[in-house]
Structure 1
């Protein structure tokens, strides 16, 4: 099974190359054009939303309004992090400032890969 990340990124030009980070670790990176690209969300390990200002929070809410429940990581401007409990969006793993170590992001991705592997194995055993 393919392992991939849906990367939604716009509104800043600080050179963060999350797509390169993910592909360098052997993951596919999908960049959906709209929330209607529903076919890719179920196959994705998670959404990584990297947008400037409040755009990331608004985008996540839009995805949730469309019924997309794929777990998400929000990458935000340094200093604009909010507590996950304040988001009211569900399935948010973390809110990470853009200047954080890439290892912080990859720890979450690694956790998602492990969780998906366990779920896939459980499905195969129950079939």
Structure 2
């Protein structure tokens, strides 16, 4: 149950973060993300620069995974295969986040906070350049 919740949260947050940075990256977001559960946004002060830099650093690799799997999902006619591909993509994205040294929960908190904190958005975007 906890793994399913974590997977759902990161999938939703990854979709949200992709939308938040679509203009910055000059790309369009892939498939629409599932509706994210409502969670209280963490104040920007609670995120240290190291975590924000890790968050910014993984955006490129995560976008590559999104693009790759978006094409695969769109090309399949089988709903079960599409669901399996989405799970595979989520697993790869979780690996990328964890390998960066960032906890998935922290990644999700930053992604949610970005949706309502323009100051935090600007800070993370500057780290992506």
* Fold conserved between structures, TM > 0.5: no
* Structure that is richer in helix per residue: 2
* Structure that is richer in strand per residue: 1
Q: TM-score scaled by structure 1?
A: 0.30
Q: TM-score scaled by structure 2?
A: 0.30
Q: Which has the higher contact order (CA 8 A, sep 6+)?
A: 2
